[in-house]
Structure 1
Amino acid sequence: MGPVNYLLLVLGMLYLVVWYMRQTPMQNFLDYCCWSKKRASDMSPISSVGQGEEMDRLYNILYSPRVSFDGAVRALPTLDRQGFENAEEIHSLIIDLPGAEPSSAYLEVVMIGDPIDTPAWRAKIKNNIASERVAPPRSLQDIGGHWIWNSNCQWIPYQEGQGLRLSGLFNAIPNLLGSKPSKVSLRIRYQTPITSMLGSQKFIGGENGLAFTYTLSEGLIALRNDPTPVLDKAQSYALSATLNGHFLQPKRKGE
């Protein structure tokens, strides 16, 4: 193979890499939506349902909340020969709401996690007739209110977009929650003025919004059509200009 062929091969590989990297959700939408050039040869009428579905797809791309967790593995003392065990802990959660304004955004948060249930643990110890070591119970429970109460609101940095950013820590609560969670499941129902006026769906992602689950070992997983029976029973916390509106008021750094 001569030098020219090698050059053509390298250029071809570079083209494939660039082509692959440009296939973002927005680029895919622009390539295949009903008014795209790739579908221009099909001049048949587009149903109103099809148009609505494509607009919903566009809204989901533009306004889907961005979720990120932070956590670490911590060594905890035990009574066995090893003397310790590695426990996963989730420290914090950040929710970015693209396009959100304090005066017009509407958000519902449903959240469950598995921190140590201190009252249940004490009850188990009290009823422990065999005097054996009682492992702390970590059943899934409602933690959305605790997170919202300690959350902060800021504007999304201009380099990352426009909208509101909610961030909060998962803290142990004396006599109630004995640890940070190792697993969190979350449902977000988010509505912007433009989606409520023009879209066929009430919330970004559909009637039930968007759902996620997170652990350190598995990372963030989107729950698309998966059943969420425990999450469905948890309390929903609504935030808007008229409902708990102070949680959507951006604070300046240092406040």
Structure 2
Amino acid sequence: MIEGLYLAWRHFTHRTEMQRFLEQCCWGNNRRWTETEEDQVKELHALINMLFKPQLKVQTRLVSHTRGNHSSLRSEPSKLSLVLPGADPEATRLGIVLAAVGPNQSIRNITPSWEDDLECKWLPIEEGMGLKIVGKVAKLSETEHLEVRVLYYSPLALMTGSATEGSPVVGGKMGVRYLIKGGKITVHSNEDGPLPSDKMLIEQPVSNKKLQPERTA
């Protein structure tokens, strides 16, 4: 557990976010949280969210579209990569929703096509350890964009063997939410309000069999 925390800390120390947390935590000069039990829980969750926040990357493809005599090219997602800091393939609890969102907030569940053929690799030690998962994104219509919601249960709970349905989720109750339009990814925070894809339930976590890293020669 200590080794995992150290590696995560080492990987993120160069970031302003870590510097800000150290200033605001119980050791800092600009404390944000008090000694109350409620604030101590908030401080722990802030640390979990910072160290273990999933990182999302998208690969795009160019798609030709013809309307009448006019042709145009647009960029749409082709593959989605998810980096899970601190993840262990045997114990990680991961829930995810990929939704194609169209006009009038219509939603289409395209999660199964992403999960069907996942590629999973270990993160190298210098990147903080964990897993990198890559899957294909189903084709979107011209008017659709992609919304992704990730429920990644706290690796701290996994390290201590106490992970349950009630364990902290990185990012809070709704997890971490992303808007993807073309190749641009925007993190949608809890303060930004609801998204159409919030209506879609994550009925079961991704199978641990699908999270097994590829064997290298």
- Larger-Rg structure: 1
The question of 1:34 aligning with 2:23 is answered: no
Do the aligned partners of 1:76 and 1:87 also contact (CA within 8 Å) in 2? yes
Look up the SS of the partner of 1:238 in the other structure. Answer: coil
Cα deviation per residue 1:33-54 (whole Å; 9 max; x = unaligned)?
1222x148xxxx7111111111
String of CA shifts for 1:227-248, please: whole Å, max 9, x gaps: 43531232425336xxx22111
Partner of 1:17: none
TM value normalised by structure 2: 0.77
Q: Which structure has greater strand proportion?
A: 2
The residue type equivalent to 1:247 in the other structure is K
Q: TM-score, normalised by structure 1?
A: 0.66
Deviation larger for 199-208 or 158-167: 199-208
Size of the aligned set, in residue pairs, is 196
Gaps of 5+ in 1: 1-21, 116-137, 173-177
How many Å separate the matches in 2 of 1:143 and 1:23? Answer: 34
Equivalent residue letter for 1:29: F
| Alignment partner of 1:66 is 2:55 | yes
Indicate conservation of the 8 Å contact 1:109/1:188, yes or no.
yes
Is the contact between residue 144 and residue 237 of structure 1 (CA under 8 Å) also seen in structure 2?
no
Matching of residues 69-80 of structure 1 within 5 Å? 69-80=58-69
Deviation at 1:181, TM superposition (A): 8.8
Instruction: Give RMSD over aligned pairs.
Output: 3.1
Using the alignment, how far apart are the partners of 2:15 and 2:84 within structure 1? 23
- 1:24 is aligned, of 1, 11, 16, to 16
Question: One-letter code of the match for 1:209?
Answer: G
Q: Which moved more, 1:189-198 or 1:144-153?
A: 189-198
Is the contact made by 2:48 and 2:154 (CA closer than 8 Å) also made in structure 1? no
Q: CA deviation at 1:95?
A: 0.5
Query: Which stretch of the first structure deviates more once superposed, 224-233 or 49-58?
Result: 224-233
Kept after mapping to 1: 8 A contact 2:121/2:131 = yes
Trace 1:35-54 onto structure 2 (pairs within 5 A): 35-36=27-28, 38-39=29-30, 46-54=35-43
**% of aligned pairs identical?**
25
Matched residues in 2 for 1:140 and 1:73: separation?
23
Q: Distance in 2 between matches of 1:27 and 1:230?
A: 35
Q: How many Å apart are 1:109 and its aligned residue?
A: 0.3
